[in-house]
Chains A and B, each alone.
Chain A
């Protein structure tokens, strides 16, 4: 038996010690600098805290008296979310096919990718501002915004799913002499169907959430109701709206999770 015991330590994540310590020092320096230079007005923050307490205090107890307004807002939000999800999910299919490297020629792929990148590059709120300017206040702006958002998100993930399909099935369909569309229909779509359903459910969920946000900039739905309540200092009504939004999101998450689990 040898006298010296074996020694072992976990290998560091970055093997080069010089690089490792430079990175750590760099990150710390930047953090210090950023905190030191950003204009934090501590006095204003101090004044703001009691104000925040007052707002929350004003929200208690939540006021459900104007439930009719609340219901109308939610009805519109649901309509916006449902329509946008349906449109977005349907339209995302052709764009996803275009953006899948393995099943289209390179020029088509580049166009498809470009469309998806553009659709994804702006946050829905920015898109909503643009659409509100273009088509005016109201639910149409919300629907257009969330449709575009859905195309970008679902299209991208679906395209990645298409790029990972089992190629043997495509080969088999080519071997029987099937045309391009028939090959898509039999060899590609069945393979991405579970993912498509899961994404649609997730997107409905996410559009419902986002419809509240884009409403704040005037694109209709419960977001507009919420914004009006804040504008009129109806904190108790605003608080009621917030509570209902949380409840609705919880329910929709539960439902979408359940549906996704059922699709095998």
Chain B
């Protein structure tokens, strides 16, 4: 269970990006976070695994306070938090298998990492997960030879290799074409339920948020202004979240199939 309370992030003396945010995610629900660019979605996710240092507030994962951890304790906490990135952030020049095993870097020693001698169970798990998402045949291919959708699958598998307690996804489909991005959203939803894993997805695509997640959280100017099931995310809520800032990426299409991308 993830509990965020009064989270503030301020860069220098500028206006805070996050202004006292409260959010809790229980069980294995898939939550999407929507909001215009600059609303603080990415900052929120990165505060959770401390890629960005929160200014104040508390973030608890399964009872452990994350916001004050340092050094080894922080790294140990991070390895239980999987993250999927918009730009995939794969190690392009390494193979798919090395990228997948990189998900275990928090668990193995430097020497093991250097010599690529990962424990047998890690290799088993890697093949299982790669087979599950359909990339096992690429194990020894270089990561930059894969297509966007395949690369994001590698990204998802790498995160799952961590045996995470929670999965964070920062605009995981924004670099993908519409069909592929549907596939990735479906994949993440089914993996979440198979592994009973809570998932937080930053997403620009409101139609996909409505179709693939159980709960929508709307951010605007660093504040949480909507929190509820997709059915309640209506035209009024959409205007509240995006109104006057920019048009959302997608129209309020009732089904993803009708997207006009």
Give me the interface of A with B, judged by CB distance under 8 Å.
166, 168-169, 171-179, 181-183, 185-187, 190-191, 193-194
**B102 close to A193 (CB less than 8 A):** no
- Which chain B residues numbered 77 to 103 have a C-beta less than 8 Å away from chain A? 77-83, 85, 87-94, 98, 102-103
Cα-based distance from A176 to B78 in the complex (angstroms): 6
A166 vs B87: C-alpha distance when bound (angstroms) = 11
Contacting pair A182 B93 (CB below 8 A): no
Question: Can you name 11 A-B residue pairings with CB atoms under 8 Å?
Answer: A172-B102, A172-B158, A173-B102, A175-B51, A175-B83, A176-B83, A176-B158, A177-B75, A179-B106, A191-B91, A191-B92
Shortest distance between the CB of B45 and any CB in chain A (Å): 10
CA distance A168 to B158 in the complex (A): 14
B114 CB–A CB distance under 8 Å: yes
- Closest chain-B Cβ to A139's Cβ sits at a distance in Å of 34
The answer to whether A169 and B90 have CB atoms under 8 Å apart is yes
Quick check: A186 and B87 within 8 Å, CB to CB? no
Check B202 for interface membership: any CB of A closer than 8 A: no
Given A168, A175, A187, A190, which contacts B78 in the complex, CB threshold below 8 Å? A175
Contact A190 B106 (CB under 8 A): no
Verify A171–B78 contact, CB threshold 8 A: no
Residue pair A172, B85 in contact (C-beta under 8 Å): yes
A190:B114 contact, CB within 8 angstroms: no
Within the complex, the shortest CB–CB distance from B39 to chain A, in Å, comes to: 20
Bound Cα distance A195, B85 (Å)? 26
Give Cα distance in the complex from A193 to B85, angstroms. Answer: 24
Partner of A178 from the list B82, B88, B93, B105 (CB cut-off 8 Å) is: B105
Cβ contact within 8 Å between B113 and A182: yes
Name the one of B89, B106, B114 contacting A171, with C-beta atoms under 8 angstroms. Answer: B89
Is B110 interfacial (CB-CB < 8 Å)?
yes
CA distance A169 to B85 in the complex (A): 10
Could you tell me if A169 and B89 are in contact, using CB atoms closer than 8 angstroms?
Answer: yes
Beta-carbon contact of A190 and B87 below 8 Å = no
Contact B105 A182 (CB under 8 A): yes
Q: Are the CB atoms of B75 and A178 closer together than 8 Å? A: yes
Q: Which residues of B contact A (CB under 8 A)?
A: 49, 51, 75-83, 85, 87-94, 98, 102-107, 110, 113-114, 158-159, 162
Q: Is the CB of B89 within 8 A of A181?
A: no
Query: Smallest CB–CB gap between B129 and chain A, Å?
Result: 14
Do B85 and A178 touch across chains, with their CB atoms under 8 A apart?
Answer: no
- A176-B102 contact, Cβ under 8 Å, with A168-B85, A185-B113, A185-B114: yes
**A177 adjacent to B94 (CB under 8 Å):** no
Chain A residues whose C-beta falls within 8 Å of the C-beta of B81 in the assembled complex? 175
Contacts of B162 in A (CB 8 A): 176-177
Partner of B75, one of A168, A179, A186: A179
CB pair A168–B89 under 8 Å, yes or no, is: yes
Whether A172 contacts B106 in the complex (CB less than 8 A), given A177-B162, A185-B113, comes out as no
In the complex, are the beta carbons of A172 and B83 less than 8 A apart? yes
Nearest residue, chain A, Cβ from B81: A175
> Across the interface, which residues of A come within 8 angstroms of B106, CB to CB?
176-179
- With A177-B105, A179-B75 in contact, is A171–B51 under 8 Å at CB? yes
Whole-angstrom CA separation of A177 from B158 in the bound complex: 12
B51 touches A187 (CB 8 A): no
* 4 smallest beta-carbon distances between A and B, as pairs: A177-B106, A177-B79, A178-B105, A172-B89
Chain B residues, Cβ within 8 Å of A191: 91-93
- The listed residue (B51, B80, B82, B113) touching A186 by CB distance below 8 A is B113
With the chains together, A185 CA to B159 CA distance in Å?
19
User: Whole-angstrom distance between the alpha carbons of A147 and B103 in the complex?
Assistant: 38
The answer to whether B105 and A173 have CB atoms under 8 Å apart is: yes
In the assembled complex, which residues on chain B have CB atoms less than 8 Å from the CB atom of A185?
110, 113-114
A104 nearest CB across to chain B (Å): 16
Is there an interface contact between A175 and B91, defined as CB atoms closer than 8 Å? no
CB distance from B224 to the nearest CB of A (A): 24
Chain A residue numbers with a CB within 8 Å of B94 are: 186, 190
- Please report the C-alpha to C-alpha distance between residue A190 and residue B94 in the assembled complex, in whole angstroms: 7
4 further contact pairs, Cβ within 8 A, besides A177-B80, A178-B75:
A169-B89, A176-B104, A191-B93, A194-B93
